[in-house]
Amino acid sequence: MERGTILKVAGPLVVAVGLERAKMYDLVRVGEQGLMGEIIEMRGDRASIQVYEETEGLGPGMPVESTGAPLSVELGPGMLGAVYDGVQRPLDELERRAGAFLSRGISAPGLDRDKRWEFVPAVAVGARVSGGDIIGTVQENEVIEHRILVPPALAGEIVEFSAGAHTVTDTVAKLRDADGAVHDLTMMQVWPVRMPRPYARKVASGEPLVTGTRVIDTFFPLVKGGVACIPGPFGAGKTVTQHQVAKWSNAQVVIFIGCGERGNEMTDVLMEFPELTDPYSGQPLMKRTVLVANTSNMPVAAREASVYTGITMAEYFRDMGYEVVLQADSTSRWAEAMREISGRLEEMPGDEGFPAYLGTKLAAFYERAGAVECLGSVSVIGSVSPPGGDLSEPVVQNTLRVVKVFWALQDTLAYERHFPAIDWLTSYSLYLERLRPHWDAEVSERYRARRDECMAILQRESNLAEIVRLVGLEALSPEEQILMETAKSIREDFLQQNAFRDDDQFTSLAKQDRLLEMILLFHTTAIEAHRQGAPLRGIFSAPVREKIARAKYGTGDETDIFDEIASDIETQLVGEGGVNA
């Protein structure tokens, strides 16, 4: 290890000299306690280091040691169900060693070195393999099978296997490369967090990430391997929406990053996730979840590391062939950390003091999402917390340049108790056409058309709302009054969803399609009934409207209920109870 000395300390930024052979992004140990840091600027033998722990007590002349390697994470069995800090230190292990309050300089490996895992070879001795090939499996838990991969850039012939119980550092296979050198393969890989894991080719996925949240799945859907942004002011429901996606999405692995979030919000996650049951396997949700916790009272520099730590873990599970969803909450806190470090480096500021490379950093992070050929996918959902809900601020605008789904949360909707508070007039998804073939084959050939028709009704309602406020609803034509009632039904009976009610947390795509079908059937039948002489008051007070409102509740598709509603609409509006009564 190369040794240097501290020259200057400015908050989380430490300037050291004497590190002539150090490189950018090398991991260093600072001070007598060996605080973890990372080199972010080199000028000759002078290195600027962002320290991931509190720098209180550091001063000029104290030692600095470079490890000669970049900040990396350990990838292997034992990750699922773990709770890490931003640099992959297991928090439960740190608590066991030092108590509830973390001691500076304390460290622990990301993977348990003592636990033994039952390794089962997946190929035979003599098989030709290359980077990313599966050579064996470990049953990590009842939900996920951990697939042991050949490290990237290695290729050759398997010359030996060692099946049975092993730790993550034991040799489980030997590989001879083309030059005749023999490499020991373990169940653990170490990978630099800032370097994307390699893949053959990205592909355009046409399969939706089903979340069970109606406003997302139907109006603003996300594909597996896609990227989405959730901006919104404080209290609008960003974190709850991300929790819903984590709980109910049809991804196989969930990575949740609490990047600079308040401690009480991360506490809710840590307390709630172990109690949740995975709706797909019946097992605890934590068995397919990794939590990365970097709360707002933790050192600011570690926020950036937490984002890269999470995305590297997600890429690793993607390489096994799993569908992964990564939640970053929130990228605004990450950007604020970049702004603070940039200011201490005396770099030229950009918009609102953020560094000029803010857009590049955000794009590089979101570009690591995607579906890759013959493997799995990583879907990234990043929340943004713009001050005062200002969507024109730099973090939101730079994020919108690279994401394809925009879920705009409005505090006005939240104040009206409309949840999820996603504004249907400003949100958008650029994946609609890509998803049409899947919807046509798996849901209904009319699903996309019904979605578009409902969106047109909501947009028309917005245009008529000002007239209603000025002169009243009676000034509209009968068809427009029916449209306003239909829009109200779409908003209250479809878009609103109770995240804390068991029979309304998740709605399948098939049921979402039937709900839209019933709302639109009432709309067209009401117009026809009025043309035949049915009074508007009778149409709006028809008992079937209560049935439509309650049809969203339930855990199945309830086909019989929807058939009954369709019959009641015809009977109550046109038949015996309607215009022909």
User: Which of 188-192, 308-312, 506-510 bottoms out in mean pLDDT, i.e. has the lowest?
Assistant: 506-510
Same domain, 565 and 493: yes
**518 vs 388, higher pLDDT:** 518
- 526 token code pair: 């009401």
- Cα–Cα distance measured from residue 165 to residue 183, given in angstroms and rounded to the nearest whole number: 20
Domain of residue 151, CATH code: 2.40.50.100
Q: Residue 468 has what pLDDT?
A: 92
Any idea which residue has 């002169």 for tokens? Answer: 471
Q: How far is CA 322 from CA 74, 309, 371, 438, 580, in A?
A: 18, 18, 10, 20, 57
The arrangement of strands across the sheet holding 134-139 comes to 145-149, 134-139, 117-121, 164-166
* Residue 269 scores a pLDDT above 80: no
Q: Residue 102 has what pLDDT?
A: 77
* Residue 239 scores a pLDDT above 90: no
Tell me, yes or no, whether 107 lies in a domain.
no
Q: Residue 556 has what pLDDT?
A: 65
Q: Residue 83 has what pLDDT?
A: 92
Full DSSP string of 203-225: E---SB---S-HIIIIIS--BTT
User: Which of 163-177, 184-198, 201-215, 567-581 bottoms out in mean pLDDT, i.e. has the lowest?
Assistant: 567-581
Mean pLDDT of 540-555: 90
Q: What percent of the chain has pLDDT over 70?
A: 98
Q: State the burial class of residue 141 (Cβ atoms within 10 Å of its Cβ: 0-12, 13-18, 19+).
A: middle
Q: How many structural domains are present in the chain?
A: 4
Q: Residue 576 has what pLDDT?
A: 59
Q: Residue 560 has what pLDDT?
A: 84
Nearest to 512 by CA among 566, 449, 447, 454: 447
Per-residue pLDDT reduced to its tens digit, 111-120: 999 999 999 9
User: Following CA atoms 71, 76, 77, 80 in sequence, which dihedral angle do they give, to the nearest 10 degrees?
Assistant: 50
Same domain, 278 and 404: yes
Average pLDDT, the chain: 91
* Residue 446 scores a pLDDT above 80: yes
- pLDDT interval class at 524 (50, 70, 90): very high
Give the range of the structural domain holding residue 468, as residue numbers without chain letter: 447-573
Same domain, 122 and 230: no
Q: Residue 401 has what pLDDT?
A: 93
Q: What percent of the chain has pLDDT over 90?
A: 71
Per-residue pLDDT reduced to its tens digit, 385-411: 888 888 899 999 999 999 999 999 998
Nearest to 306 by CA among 262, 257, 268: 257
- pLDDT interval class at 458 (50, 70, 90): very high
Q: Residue 577 has what pLDDT?
A: 61
**With contact defined as beta carbons under 8 Å apart, do 564 and 521 qualify?**
no
Per-residue pLDDT reduced to its tens digit, 44-77: 889 999 999 889 999 999 999 999 999 999 999 9
- pLDDT interval class at 283 (50, 70, 90): confident
Q: Which pTM does this prediction carry?
A: 0.94
Same domain, 257 and 376: yes
Q: State the burial class of residue 200 (Cβ atoms within 10 Å of its Cβ: 0-12, 13-18, 19+).
A: exposed
Asked, as a colleague might, if the bond just before 332 is cis with ω within 30 of 0, I would say no
Q: How far is CA 190 from CA 57, 73, 78, 267, 386, in A?
A: 32, 6, 14, 29, 35
Q: Which of 187, 210, 227 finishes a domain?
A: 187
Tell me, yes or no, whether 357 lies in a domain.
yes
- Cα–Cα distance measured from residue 487 to residue 504, given in angstroms and rounded to the nearest whole number: 20
User: Which of 70-84, 148-162, 170-184, 557-571 bottoms out in mean pLDDT, i.e. has the lowest?
Assistant: 557-571
Same domain, 403 and 451: no
Ramachandran angles phi, psi of 353, nearest 5°: 85, -5
Tell me, yes or no, whether 437 lies in a domain.
no
Same domain, 223 and 169: no
Nearest to 192 by CA among 253, 151, 233, 155: 151
Tell me, yes or no, whether 99 lies in a domain.
no
* Residue 235 scores a pLDDT above 60: yes
User: Following CA atoms 500, 410, 350, 353 in sequence, which dihedral angle do they give, to the nearest 10 degrees?
Assistant: -70
**367 vs 102, higher pLDDT:** 367
Tell me, yes or no, whether 352 lies in a domain.
yes
Tell me, yes or no, whether 489 lies in a domain.
yes
Q: Which of 187, 222, 246 finishes a domain?
A: 187
Mean pLDDT of 290-295: 89
- 357 token code pair: 């490379």
Q: State the burial class of residue 458 (Cβ atoms within 10 Å of its Cβ: 0-12, 13-18, 19+).
A: middle
Q: Residue 532: how many CB atoms within 10 A of its CB?
A: 12
- 474 token code pair: 């009676």
Tell me, yes or no, whether 196 lies in a domain.
no
Asked, as a colleague might, if the bond just before 420 is cis with ω within 30 of 0, I would say yes
556-560 contact pairs (CB < 8 A, 24+):
556/511, 557/508, 557/510, 557/511, 557/514, 558/511, 558/514, 559/514
Same domain, 239 and 384: yes
Domain of residue 274, CATH code: 3.40.50.300
- Cα–Cα distance measured from residue 322 to residue 37, given in angstroms and rounded to the nearest whole number: 32
**With contact defined as beta carbons under 8 Å apart, do 494 and 511 qualify?**
no
Q: Which of 160, 187, 214 finishes a domain?
A: 187
Same domain, 301 and 428: yes
**With contact defined as beta carbons under 8 Å apart, do 119 and 148 qualify?**
yes
Mean pLDDT of 147-176: 95
Q: Residue 40 has what pLDDT?
A: 93
Tell me, yes or no, whether 76 lies in a domain.
no
Same domain, 210 and 155: no
Q: Residue 578 has what pLDDT?
A: 67
Q: Residue 367: how many CB atoms within 10 A of its CB?
A: 13
Q: How far is CA 119 from CA 112, 133, 164, 256, 532, in A?
A: 16, 16, 5, 28, 73
Domain of residue 451, CATH code: 1.10.1140.10
Same domain, 154 and 177: yes
Q: Residue 101 has what pLDDT?
A: 77
Same domain, 174 and 244: no
Mean pLDDT of 206-214: 94
Domain of residue 10, CATH code: 2.40.30.20
Residue type at 350 in one-letter notation: G
Q: Which residues contact 236 (CB under 8 A, 6 or more apart)?
A: 389, 409, 410, 411, 413, 414, 421
Per-residue pLDDT reduced to its tens digit, 416-442: 989 999 999 999 999 999 999 999 999
Same domain, 407 and 475: no
